[in-house]
Each structure stands twice: as structure tokens, then as C-alpha cells.
Amino acid sequence: MCRLFCKIGLGQEGPDGKSKTVSDTGLERYNPQGGWFASILFVAVFCYFWIGINPLSDPQAGTLAAYGETSNVFNQLIVLGMSVLVMTLLALHPARELVLKAFWPIAAIFFWIALTIPFADSPDSAIRRSIYSLLVCICASAVLILPRDTNQFARLVGLCLLLAVGLSYFGVLVLPARAIHQATDLSEQALAGDWRGHFGHKNTAAAAMASAVFFGLYLMKMQRFWIGLVLVVLAGIFVLNSGGKTAAAMLPAVLIAIWIFERAGPMRLALVAGTLVVFNFITLTVAVSPPVAAFVSGLGIDASFTDRTSIWQLALSAVADRPLTGYGFQSFWQTDALFYGNHSASTWAVTAANAHNGYLDQLINGGWPLLILVIVWIVILPCRQASVALARESDPDLTRLYLRIWLFGLLTSCLESPIFENSGPLWFTLLIAVFGLRLQANAQLVDDSARSSFSPRLAGTYL
């Protein structure tokens, strides 16, 4: 069976030599010669989230400040510009209905977020952050319409990841003071010696490099064996030297788990949901139950989860006070109300940037309704769509790539907070997987004889 670029319905050549197409609407997939603008935009968007506009920044230049005091208008303008360009291409794309239908969970989520804004200490800041986060979601999701086919997708992703991984190694070898945690850093001196590359923290670097391993394994299946192997080896070495124990443990675990997931049939959702529930129950209960903490310690596991329990205690206490509405979108951590409030004298956790648990952070952002909506969007729907894609055998290598990234992101969210993280590669890459699984589930094979005439109105828009 020929490869299907189900995520955006990209053209491929079938085993009979005729041009085949992927589309859930039966429309023609027209691949124009060129498409340079779409390719450049894809690379720009991917590199913005994976590299950023200020890589290898000076760790001595930062100061501890409340969240609202560190917003970057330039970043917001860049994301706005990229979103406009991506959505313009989407508007001209004959598959736009398929793509736009995938946005309804996002619309429901941000509708509820809008309702919680009045409960924020600074509603204007919550509005700005929610709009910015919405643009990131749209930009990261719709970017999948840009590559022409699986070959171009593999080529562009390989280029972007070689740049990102290469930049991190450049930092480690040439600018170690900026790419390796130092004992002289303003914060977290205990991380001295851990590689962070061009990322701001070793945990982000470890998770990003684990995702690069998944991409590398996919490229090895896409007749780009040596590029993929280089990415797997370099990214794998970086994970080990980053000191990111969570990413290092989850990387092989996810590879095994997806092998089981593909064969689990109707038990797939129970397997994923059960794992997340058990994992979160154990880790969060450790923060409030000494007997459970003692049991976990007896297993040889750090029961504080590198002192995350102090943060979880503060977060759970906050959730208990506002279980329905939360505190407004991104309006709790590192705000003046918390940073200089009553808790500031009793726990260091008030200085934390987030809850170090993506699901707990959604309770803080918008209460139980927001958490339920997010779980439906990034857990339940992708699991169902993955089952459809696997049953259809819609490019199993591409589906497997998305599944690995998706499950890794879900598990990482139990100990970190990548969900709605507006900068960096983790949330962006998870969005690609979530959106890609939907497109994989809706792909169909269309023969040349079924094509209708279509003339693209802009280079890079094709179906």
C-alpha cells in the first residue's frame, strides 16, 4: 500500500505508478511545481518553536520576576504574523473544511477560558495570554497543510531538526556557559553540568531531544536512513547528558507502550486513560499523604519528585478554593498576588513558573470544566482517531510517529506543564501530533481518474 500523507491529504505515487491522493472529501490533490513559500513558512514556524528568536541566551541576564512582567510583545507579533499567513493558506486550501472541523474542541476550550477571565486578578493580562495561546494552537495545528507530501514533510522536518540539534551541540562545544547549567547560574545551581543546549532548561531540552528521536526513527523509515540515524544518535546522547531523568525513562517506555497500543484494539482508551489516572493519582497523592510518600520511597523512588511536592501542595490548596472557575488563564503562577502574597513567606513554591503537572495547571487555569474539555481534546479524541487510522492502515509509519509524540506529551504532562506553554517545542510538537492523528483518521486514497480540475490560487496551497 502506498504511503498516505493523511494529515493533510498530500499526494503520493501508488504502486501502479499512477499518482494517488489523500483526501477525506474526494477532492483532487494537486501538487503544484514550486510551493517554495509554503516550505519556507513551514520551516519558519517549526524553527520558531524549536529554536526561538533568542537561542543560547545569557543565563546571567535573567532576573526573577512576576509572570506579567516578562511578556514579550515581539514574540506575540511574530506568532500573530505566522498565524495570519498559515490561515491565509488554509483559507485557499480545498481541504479547509476538514482542517477547520478539527478546531471545534479548541473553540469550546477557549469559550470556557473566556468565561473564567473575570475571575483573574488581572483580566486584561488573561485576555492577552488567552488570545496569544489561541494563535499558537491555530498556527501549530494548521501548519500541517503546508508540506506537499510525505517526502517534503520528511525533508523539511529533517532540516529543521538538524538545525535545532546542531545548534544545541554548537552551544555545548563552543558556548558551554550558555548551553550547560553552571554553578554560577542565578537559579538552580544544583543542575550544574547538565546539558540544556539552546533551550532554557535541561528538562525542556531532554523532552525536546526525546521528540527528536521519534522524528529520527520516522525519517529512517522514509528513505532518509542516515539523517534519521544521526538525529536518533545525537538526540539520544543529549537526553542522557541533560540529566532529564523523566525524558530518559519515558523514551524507551513510550516505544514499548505504542507497540502495545497498536495491538490493544478496543482497550486502547482504557490503557491510556488508566495509565494517566494512576500516574497522576500516585504523584499528587504523595504530596498530601505521608503513608503514600513512605510507600513510594520504599520503592527507591524520590517521593518528592525533585521537590515538586511543595508545588503540588500549593496548587492543590489553590484548586480546593476555586474548583469550578480556577484563577483565570495563566493568572496564578508568578503573578503579583502569589509572588508577594500570604504564601510567599511559608513556601518557596510561590516562585515556581507552573504546577509541574499540565493537568493540575488546567484546574488552576479554568477549574474542572477546563480540565475535562482539555482531556477530551488531547486524550479521548486522538485515541479514537488513532484507532480509526490504524484500522485503515493509513500510512502506519506516520501514524506511529504521531502516536509516540502524543503519548510522550501526555506522560510528560504528569511531571511538567507543556499544555498551553506558548513558547518552546513541547506544546507545539504535541499539537502537531493531536491534529495529525485526526487527519490520519480522515484520509482516503483517491485515484487519478477521480480528480477534478483545480487551479491553486497561491503557491503552496494544493489538494
Is residue 63 included in any domain, yes or no? Answer: no
Query: What residues are paired with 124 via a beta bridge?
Result: none
Question: Is 56 within 8 Å of 49 (Cβ atoms)?
Answer: no
CA distance 317 to 428: 30
Does the structure show a pLDDT above 80 at 34? no
Grid cell 480546593 in the structure block, residue: 320
Is residue 6 included in any domain, yes or no? Answer: no
Mean of pLDDT values over 440-455? 48
Mean of pLDDT values over 16-24? 39
CA distance 405 to 409: 6
Report the chain's C-alpha Rg in angstroms: 22
Residues 6+ apart with CB under 8 A from 263: none
Our CA dihedral for 381, 80, 47, 212, rounded to 10 degrees, sits at -20
Sign of the four-CA dihedral 182, 187, 190, 195: negative
Is residue 458 included in any domain, yes or no? Answer: no
Cut 0.75: pTM above it: yes
Backbone angles phi, psi at 55, to 5 degrees: -70, 155
Amino acid residing at 143: V
Residue 219 grid cell: 525519517
CA distance 321 to 310: 17
Mean of pLDDT values over 131-137? 92
Question: Is 41 within 8 Å of 86 (Cβ atoms)?
Answer: yes
Domain count, the chain: 1
Is residue 4 included in any domain, yes or no? Answer: no
Instruction: Give tens-digit pLDDT for 232-278.
Output: 999 999 999 999 988 999 999 999 999 999 999 999 999 999 999 99
Residues 6+ apart with CB under 8 A from 179: 56, 168, 170, 171, 172, 195, 196, 197, 198
Is residue 388 included in any domain, yes or no? Answer: yes
Instruction: Give tens-digit pLDDT for 407-419.
Output: 999 999 999 999 9
Residues 6+ apart with CB under 8 A from 80: 135
Is residue 242 included in any domain, yes or no? Answer: yes
CA distance 72 to 231: 31
pLDDT of 346: 61
> DSSP string of 107-120?
HHHHHHHHHHGGGS
Work out the pLDDT band at 368, boundaries 50, 70, 90: very high
Length of the chain: 463
3-class state of residue 276 by DSSP: helix
Please give the residue that has the higher pLDDT: either 313 or 31: 313
Range of the domain at 442: 12-56+82-450
- End-to-end CA distance of the chain: give it in Å, rounded: 20
225, 288, 320, 347 from 313: Cα distances, Å: 47, 7, 11, 10
Work out the pLDDT band at 48, boundaries 50, 70, 90: very high
Is residue 457 included in any domain, yes or no? Answer: no
Does the structure show a pLDDT above 60 at 181? yes
CA distance 221 to 150: 11
Q: How many CB atoms lie within 10 A of CB 176?
A: 13
